[in-house]
Structures are given as structure tokens and as C-alpha cells.
Chain A
């Protein structure tokens, strides 16, 4: 059976399916949650199926997808679509394909891409290098438009005709030389997770607003907890030398007024006092409020520590929310999320690195129009809404953040709309185009060396980094 995220809507659905709740109570609870009549109808249907004694099978992933109007007739067309990796999200992706196939008459083959984004990009590049039409449609990371632009079908006209307004920030990010390389599909942004019970225990009224506050609060909590829990740490983040550290580092420096590593005009801006100060502060965390091993942590390492109840704060993506709130989580009910803190130097602001995935159509495809229709379908408001409800996927359409069904499933969406819509900062992938990989490697290596102490002088290390980045950009 597909696993549903533990949120009020899904709980209600599960109760309905298993006949644990009467139709009258479903109506009552559903109204209290502010559910749309369509969703309520679905739940009631689940109840009637459940009452007949065939629960799970009747409620497949994709149950909340409403088929958008105006899909073309594609009978006879075969599409190979490269969607998510095998895993908890695969059933939903499969449902996307099946529903599209049924509505249009096309044959849709779901190809499961690699889980590691780096491996996936390599596979795409190798496929494109041979001008292969092995797949017509693919999901691409928010940092790849610059790298893959020359292999993309321009989707700007299709989006304009669809009448849907996507987040402007992501549309800009995905546009390379006036070519829209991908439709914003679902987004991601760095968040601060914090333990509400511990903040209360140590007398803090609110989540930290600045990095300094976070440092002070974590120091105090670690000092207090150390006696009873030797594995306790204050703050976990992604500190290993990989793409995740680029996201964290960009947040530290941008929130301290330190710019975006390489600015939109292609100039390398990383060597500035604000960035150096931000890196100095992060270096100070390692071995104090953060474990020394944080310099080898990726998302899941830090989440493991956090979800075991061994950390006061964590920087992570939204996916960790539903996992932390799950019934088997020891911190369920004792944590919340908010925007990442800001710095204290001139030009400081909140910052969250923009992540997420785009719907991309390969220019080597022989069915570009059908693939474009599929891209518009998965990124349509209807399907994005279903992805938000079933998979906690962050929509790229502002209206969905005020949608009652979506908010019932993900209460924190509403508060963070600003962060997702405009507060997020993009990695310099558009400015560095196909050389972004080199920029990211160099940046992550340097920052990792600063954190683990191999590079003892932060200022000198950042100066070297700027030199290397300028060399890379000179090749552009």
C-alpha cells in the first residue's frame, strides 16, 4: 500500500478507508479542515469502499489528482518520461503517467531516474551527447538550466498560452538566453527546524531571528543537555563537500549581505568582508554547537541526529517536516519550522537557497508537442495541488499556498509563502551556465576545508576561491 503522509487530510482518509469513522463524522471533520467538495467526495468514496472491506487497494497514489481541462488527443503517441527515482514517491509519479495516458490516449512509459542528482545529471549529459531520443521528457534540477539549455525545447510560448502564473523567481532562473528550459514544477527552499520543547525549557520565547541568536541559544541548550545526553548537539546542517554545502554556504553569506558568489553579470563577488564573517561564524560552530563530523554530513545524516532527538536546530529542506511529524518520530509535536536566520552586517536579510525541479522537454524527442503537453500537465495547478497534498511538494504557483486542502495537509506552507516566492536565493547556475559544476565543486571544497580546519585562514581561503572562480569564469 502506498504510504500516506501523516497530515489531517490523510489521517481522515485513512480513518475513512478503514471504516473507523462514520460518514457524518467525515463530513464534520472535513468541513472543519476546510476541504473542497471534490476532496470530500473522494474521502466519502473511500469510506464506502472501506466499508465493503477492501481498503488500501481502492485508494491508489494520485487519488487527489483532478484531471485538468483541455488536454490534447494524443492517441498513437508514445512518450518516455524520466521522472523520480524508485522510492516512496514512485507510486505518485506512476499515477501521473497513468492519468495522463488515460486522458489523452498516449502511451506513457515511466523511466525511473537515478536518486543521486549528480548521477542523474551525468546520465542526461551522456544521453544528450549522443543526441539520443531515449526520453522525451525529464525532470531537471533548478541548477541545471544553464547546463542543459542547448538540449531543451523552448517552453515559454507553451507556458504563456497555458495562462498559469508560476513564481517569477524560478521562471527567471529557468530562462537562459530567452529560452525557457523548464516549467517550474515543484520547489524547495532551506528551512530552519527547531525544537519547541527545548526552546521553552530554556526560556526562549521565539525561534532565533539572527545567526548570532541561534549560536547563543544552541550554546546554552547544549550546555544544559550535555549532562543527560552525551550525543546531544546544537545545530546540524549539510557540511560535506557536495552540492548541499553550496546551498548552506550561499544562505550564510547571502543572509549576511555577502552576495551570491557570482553575480548575474558574471562577476565573481565571493571575496568580501560579509562573506568572510559569515564563514568565520560557521567555522566557529564546528566542534561547539555542531558536531565535528558535520563536515561529512549530508541531509540524511543530520536528519538522523535531529529525528533521534539529539539536536536543537537543523537546517534542512521541507521534506524533513512530514518525516519528523510521523507517528514513529520521537520529536513529533515538539518541533516547528521557520525561515532561516539572518546575519547582522549591512545588507543582511533572510535567505533560503532555491531548490526544486523543472519539467523539461528534450529537443531530440520526436514527440515534442506531446512531451510539452505532459510537462504542462504535471506542472498544472491541479497536479501540483495533488503533489502538495500527497507528497508535501511545494507548489510553484502562489494561489496554491492559500488553498484550504493544501494547507490542511501542510500547515507551515502559509507562513513561508514569502520565502518560497521571493525570499529564496538562487545558486549562480545561470551566470556560470555549463560551468556551474566546476563552480560548485570549487566552492564546496573550499568551504569544507574552512569548516574542518584544513584551511586555517578564512580570508586567504576565500581569496584563493575567488581566484579559482575567476579562472573558471574566464573559460566561459
Chain B
């Protein structure tokens, strides 16, 4: 992906900087516009229009299916959200989940990618079975882990008790404020580490093997090879994987919604916005929250793309 942008960006820049000189050039440009028109239309309809609607609603006091008069309230919704302690605590919680889950996934994903990159018997089978957690729909895995962590008939309590790690009795994991966030992070890591590993594996596979052979001849240790060759060479793939995962985790919703929807101990910003929008029917206020999330993610993407650009010089 990074490679593609590198090639296309300079090319398009020069093209748009001046109008085509010849009749053939103009004709070609017109044809180009006609060909992209359907895609542009689809993007406008499914991406830009909802975005426009959300931004428009965020400046009103609209409510779901309400007979109340809708009026423009300016920045009042934004002001009220920014004054709501619950919004800030859920934002902070979301950042905690994102940082913790994505870094764990990156480290574990790298270890797994390196392991399955090497040659061993049954590699195909391991690669396929590794993807199982990623293939399970989030809602299903969330229900599944919810049962495993259940206090009364959960597997985790039973296992820890048998291992002598805890007393018998009803230890709560999901509901206990001390462990609730840890459970969410653990499930997210379990589910998405395979995705991270897969992207990193793709990155590892494009590294030519002769650089390793050359460095082995030069007497580099495996450790040196990893830090000075593998990591720098896999960095573009790692950055792309991190962008995907950061954006995804920041919007975390379904996992928490299924696990313990209403609790404030695990409330993410997406849950906060959903509750305002749907449960409370506050279209205006909830839309303002959605716009704030949109800007947060936008900032993250900007940060990452700067990193990539620095990377590419």
C-alpha cells in the first residue's frame, strides 16, 4: 500500500497542475471523468452524504421520532459533551484499550509472524488454523468469552481454581471494575492478533532472502539481523497494520456491547455515542459525539501518514 502511494502521488500532482494541451489529451481526460463518475457518485452517496447529515444534525437538537420542533443550537451539543465527565472518562478508557491492545497485538503478531515465516512441517495448517479467532464474528467471540468468564458457570473460574490460583467461589471478571477493562483488552488481543500476524507475514515475505544470506556471511547474529534488517524492512507493513488496528480499536463497540453493554466501567466512546443516539434518542447530541470521534480518528490517520511519509523520505 505504501508503495502504491509513493508511485502515484507525484504522477497525479504533475498531471493536475496543468490542463492537457492537445485535443487527444482533453478527450482522454473527459473519458477519464466519465469512467470514474459512477464511483464518485457512489462515494458521494454512501460516504459523504451520511457524513454531511451527521455534521448537520450535530448542530441541532433533533430527537429520534419526536414531535418536538427541531432548531439550530449552534455549538451547544459540543459544549455539553465536552462538559460531560462520562464522555471524557470513556475517551480515556478507549485510548487505554487502544494503546494496550494494539501494542500487545503488534508484539504477539510479530512473534507469530516470525514463527510461521520459518520453514517447518505443517506450516500451511498452522497458518490456516491461526486465523480461526479472526474468522469468528466479534459478536460470537464476545458471547463465547462472556460465558468463559461467567462467574457461576465459567471455565476461567473453574480453571484457576483447579490450578490453585484462586479460592472456590464466585469471582467476577467482567463486572469487577478492577478487571473489566483487562478482560476487554484480552478478548480483543485474542481476536485480532492473527490479523496483525497475517499483515506482518506479508511484509516479511517480500524481504529478499539474499540480504539474510549476505549478513550471515558478514557474521551478523540472529538478534542483530532482526533489529537491523527485519524490523526496518517490515516497518511499512507494520505501520499499515498499526493504522488499521488503531482505527478499528478506537471505534471498539460490538465486543463491549455484547459483554456488558450499559456498564460505565467498560464504556468506550462508540458505546457512549450509541447510547445517546439510540437508547436516549438524542440525534443531535449523539451526532456531535460521532463527529468528535471522526476528528479523533482523522488526527490519528494524519499522524500515521506523516510517519509513513517520513519513512519514505
Is the beta-carbon distance between B170 and A291 smaller than 8 angstroms? Answer: yes
Task: Verify if A372 is at the interface (C-beta below 8 Å from B).
Answer: no
C-alpha gap A129/B261 in the complex (Å): 26
B170 CB contacts on chain A under 8 angstroms? 230-231, 233, 291-293
- Give the distance to chain B from A144, nearest Cβ to Cβ, in Å: 11
B174 at the binding interface (Cβ < 8 Å): yes
Which of B13-21, B24-32, B274-282 is the interface stretch?
B274-282
Q: Is A293 a contact of B265 with CB atoms below 8 Å?
A: no
| CB pair A122 B175 closer than 8 Å | no
| Chain A neighbourhood of B279, CB < 8 A | 118, 437, 441
Indicate whether A449 reaches chain B with its CB closer than 8 angstroms. yes
A367 within 8 A of B: no
**Alpha-carbon separation in the docked complex, A242 to B68 (Å):** 26
Docked-complex contact B263 and A122, CB < 8 angstroms: no
> Within 8 Å CB of A438, what residues of B?
280-282
Within 8 A of A (CB), among B135-173: 150-153, 168-173
Q: Does B177 contact A (CB under 8 A)?
A: yes
Given contacts A125-B64, A230-B169, A293 and B280 within 8 Å (CB-CB):
no
- A150 contacts partner chain B, Cβ-Cβ < 8 Å: yes
A255 at the interface (CB under 8 A from B): no
Residues of A with C-beta under 8 A to B168: 230
- Inter-chain contacts of A245 with B (CB < 8 A): 262
Q: Chain A, interface size: which category? A: 35 or more
CB of B260 closer than 8 Å to a CB of A: yes
List A contacts of B260 (CB < 8 A).
Answer: 240, 296
Q: Which B residues lie within 8 Å of A295 (CB)?
A: 172, 175, 263
Contacts of B282 in A (CB 8 A): 438
A-chain residues with CB within 8 Å of residue B278 when the two chains form the complex: 118, 122
Residues of A within 8 A of B63 (CB): 434
Is there contact, CB below 8 Å, between B65 and A129? Answer: yes
Q: Interface code A424-449, partner B: CB below 8 Å = 1, 0 otherwise?
A: 00000000001001100100110011
Interface positions, chain A 266-295, Cβ under 8 Å from B, are 291-295
Interface pair A128/B65, CB less than 8 Å apart: yes
* In the complex, chain B residues whose CB is within 8 Å of the CB of A293: 150-152, 170, 172-176
B264 to chain A, nearest CB (A): 6
Considering residues B262, B265, B280, which has the most beta carbons from chain A within 10 angstroms of its beta carbon? B262
Closest B residue to A232 by beta carbon equals B170
Contact of B65 among A124, A242, A308 (CB under 8 A): A124
Q: Does B67 contact A (CB under 8 A)?
A: yes
Contact present for A453 and B177 (CB under 8 Å): yes
Residues of B within 8 A of A233 (CB): 152, 170
Q: Assess whether B118 is interfacial by the CB under 8 Å rule.
A: no
A241 touches B262 (CB 8 A): yes
Using A231-B170, A441-B275 as known contacts, say yes or no to A241 and B263 having CB atoms under 8 A apart. yes
Closest to B170 in A: A291
A305 within 8 A of B: yes
| A 349-393 contacts with B by CB, 8 A | none
Does any Cβ of B come within 8 Å of A304's Cβ? Answer: yes
| B66 in the interface (beta carbon within 8 A) | yes
Closest approach, in angstroms, between the C-beta of B167 and any C-beta of chain A?
8
- Residue in chain A with minimal CB distance to B175: A296
Q: Contacts A118-B279, A291-B172 known; A240 to B64 CB distance under 8 Å? A: no
Q: How far is the CB of B89 from chain A (nearest CB, A)?
A: 10
Query: A156 on the interface (CB 8 Å rule)?
Result: no
Q: A305-B152, A310-B152 are in contact. Are A125 and B65 (CB under 8 A)?
A: yes
- B67 neighbours in A (Cβ, 8 Å): 150, 434
Whether A78 is near chain B, meaning CB under 8 Å from some CB there, is no
**What separation, in Å, do the CA atoms of A445 and B84 have in the docked complex?**
14
| Residue A37 at the chain B interface, CB threshold 8 Å | no
A308–B175 alpha-carbon span in the complex (Å): 21
| B174 and A296 form a contact (CB under 8 A) | yes
| Chain A 229-252: CB-based contact to B (< 8 A → 1; otherwise 0) | 011010000001110010000000
Q: Is the CB of B65 within 8 A of A296?
A: no
Partner of A434, one of B86, B172, B175, B281: B281
- Best-buried of B169, B263, B280 by chain A (most CB within 10 Å): B263
Q: How many angstroms between the C-alpha atoms of A124 and B65 in the bound complex?
A: 9
Task: Kindly state the separation between the CA atoms of A147 and B64 in the bound complex, as whole angstroms.
Answer: 10
Q: Is the CB of A126 within 8 A of B151?
A: no
What residue of chain B has the Cβ atom nearest to residue A476's Cβ? B68
Question: How far does the Cβ of B142 sit from chain A's closest Cβ, in whole Å?
Answer: 13
Report yes or no: B263 in contact with A437, Cβ–Cβ below 8 A.
no
A125 near B281 (CB under 8 angstroms)? Answer: yes
- Chain B positions within 8 Å of A161 at CB level: none
- Please judge, given known A-B contacts A122-B278, A292-B170, A292-B175, whether A444 and B150 are in contact too, CB under 8 Å: no
A114 to chain B, nearest CB (A): 12
Question: Which residues of the other chain, B, contact A434 by a CB distance below 8 angstroms?
Answer: 63, 66-68, 281
Cα distance A128–B65 in the bound complex, in angstroms: 6
User: Does the CB pair B152–A231 fall under 8 Å?
Assistant: yes
CB distance from B260 to the nearest CB of A (A): 5
Within the complex, the shortest CB–CB distance from A129 to chain B, in Å, comes to: 4
Instruction: Fill in one digit per residue for B205-218: 1 if any A CB lies within 8 Å of its CB, else 0.
Output: 00000000000000
Of B175, B261, B280, the residue contacting A452 (CB under 8 A) is: B175
List A contacts of B176 (CB < 8 A): 292-293, 452
B283 to chain A, nearest CB (A): 10
Interface centre among B151, B168, B260 (most CB of A within 10 A): B151
Are A437 and B172 in touch, CB under 8 angstroms? no
A452: chain B residues within 8 A (beta carbon):
175-177, 263, 265
Instruction: Say whether A126 contacts B64, CB under 8 Å.
Output: yes
- Hey, which chain A residues are within 8 Å of B275, CB to CB? 441
B281 touches A292 (CB 8 A): no
Q: Which residues of A contact B262 (CB under 8 A)?
A: 240-242, 245, 441, 444-445, 448
Distance of B157 from chain A, by nearest CB (Å) = 9
> What are 28 A-B contacts defined by CB distance under 8 Å?
A118-B278, A147-B281, A150-B66, A226-B169, A231-B170, A233-B170, A240-B260, A241-B262, A241-B263, A242-B261, A291-B152, A291-B172, A292-B172, A292-B175, A293-B152, A293-B170, A295-B172, A296-B175, A296-B263, A308-B152, A434-B66, A434-B67, A434-B281, A437-B281, A438-B281, A441-B279, A448-B263, A452-B175
Q: Which residues of A contact B (CB under 8 A)?
A: 118, 122, 124-126, 128-129, 147, 150-151, 226, 230-231, 233, 240-242, 245, 291-296, 304-305, 308, 310, 434, 437-438, 441, 444-445, 448-449, 452-454
Q: A122-B278, A293-B174 are in contact. List 12 more A-B contacts (CB 8 A).
A: A126-B65, A231-B153, A293-B150, A305-B152, A308-B152, A310-B152, A434-B63, A434-B67, A437-B280, A438-B282, A445-B86, A448-B262
